[in-house]
């Protein structure tokens, strides 16, 4: 199924009932929201010169995959989010094929119960002066397990690339497990590329401060978890963001 965007759009909903190809016209700005996805459905997104797209993907129990082509001076942002108690897998390939193309991937996920999630993100810099960011915020509860594999690839024509991967994890479950696997593959010379990962628990100092203000421990912990996720939720519609934060609050305060 192929769709074409020819005029300015604000928000558009996408049902991935089958493999879908969507082309965004030059200099167009739009926000795409995936409202449902069939297992193993694939979205191919072509972002033409000077266009801007924010793709928002609430996670579900599927293995949907995404292949993104970002052309000259186009900008792409992708936000994956959800509080999940099911197994999920996401395969994402973003190719920056035009000069000065830019891509940002934001991940805001809370895993609970015995869920297992696996995120594979490949960010390719295939042209001059491209910019890429992968910002991951994961919260692991109960007996959940999560793996993030992120590859920053810079091709031979990727001179002037500026790319970075940041993976931050909060471990709240004593039996929860997490793996962070950042990778670099660089074939060009003039490149800025790095990655960082931190895995830890809620700050006892911050928790004590909130409790000293009269908040119960569960409420204080909920506030800190929500605060941890917020940087990865910029640009997400308020109703979607607030729904996730409300679910987090309920989970922390049963």
Q: What tokens appear for 55 in the block?
A: 């793709």
Tell me, what's the pLDDT at 6? 37
Burial class (CB in 10 A: 0-12, 13-18, 19+), 205: exposed
State mean pLDDT over 191-198. Answer: 96
Rg for the chain (alpha carbons), in Å? 19
Tell me, what's the pLDDT at 4? 39
Tell me, what's the pLDDT at 5? 40
Residue 155 CB: number of other CB atoms within 10 A? 19
Average pLDDT, whole number, for the chain? 90
- Is the pLDDT reported for residue 93 higher than 90? yes
Tell me, what's the pLDDT at 251? 72
State mean pLDDT over 149-161. Answer: 98
Q: How confident is the model at residue 10 (pLDDT cuts 50, 70, 90)?
A: low
129 phi and psi angles, rounded to 5 deg = 55, 45
In 3D space, the residue among 105, 96, 86, 235 whose CA is nearest the CA of residue 167 turns out to be 105
10 phi and psi angles, rounded to 5 deg = -95, -90
In 3D space, the residue among 26, 25, 45 whose CA is nearest the CA of residue 34 turns out to be 45
Between CA 2 and CA 53 the distance in angstroms is 17
Residue 140 DSSP SS3:
strand
In 3D space, the residue among 89, 99, 154 whose CA is nearest the CA of residue 120 turns out to be 89
C-beta separation of 165 from 192 below 8 A: no
User: What residues does each domain of the chain span?
Assistant: 2-202
Cα 151–16–86 angle (5° rounding)?
65
Span 45-91, pLDDT tens digits: 999 999 999 999 988 756 789 999 999 999 999 999 998 888 777 89
pTM: 0.91
C-beta separation of 161 from 129 below 8 A: yes
Between CA 82 and CA 98 the distance in angstroms is 31
Q: How confident is the model at residue 15 (pLDDT cuts 50, 70, 90)?
A: confident
Give the dihedral sign, CA 159/197/151/231: negative
């Amino acid at each position: 199924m192929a769709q074409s965007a020819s005029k300015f759009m604000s928000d558009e909903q996408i049902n991935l009932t089958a493999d879908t190809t969507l082309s965004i016209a030059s200099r167009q700005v739009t926000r795409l929201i995936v409202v449902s996805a069939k297992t193993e459905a694939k979205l191919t997104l072509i972002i033409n010169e000077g266009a801007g797209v924010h793709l928002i993907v609430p996670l579900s129990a599927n293995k949907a995959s995404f292949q993104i082509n970002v052309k000259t001076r186009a900008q792409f942002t992708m936000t994956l989010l959800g509080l999940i108690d099911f197994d999920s897998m996401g395969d994402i390939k973003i190719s920056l094929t035009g000069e000065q193309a830019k891509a940002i991937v934001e991940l805001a996920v809370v895993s609970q119960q015995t869920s297992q999630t696996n995120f594979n993100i490949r960010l390719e810099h295939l042209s001059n002066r491209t910019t890429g960011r992968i910002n991951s915020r994961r919260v692991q509860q109960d007996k959940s397990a999560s793996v993030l594999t992120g590859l920053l690839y810079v091709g031979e024509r990727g001179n002037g690339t500026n790319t970075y991967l940041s993976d931050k994890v909060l471990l709240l479950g004593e039996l929860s497990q997490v793996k962070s696997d950042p990778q670099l593959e660089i074939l060009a010379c003039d490149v800025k590329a790095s990655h960082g990962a931190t895995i830890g628990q809620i700050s006892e100092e911050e928790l004590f401060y909130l409790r000293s203000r009269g908040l119960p421990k569960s409420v204080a912990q909920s506030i800190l978890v929500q605060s941890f996720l917020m940087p990865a939720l910029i640009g997400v519609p308020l109703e979607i963001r607030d729904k996730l934060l409300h679910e987090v609050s309920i989970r922390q305060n049963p």
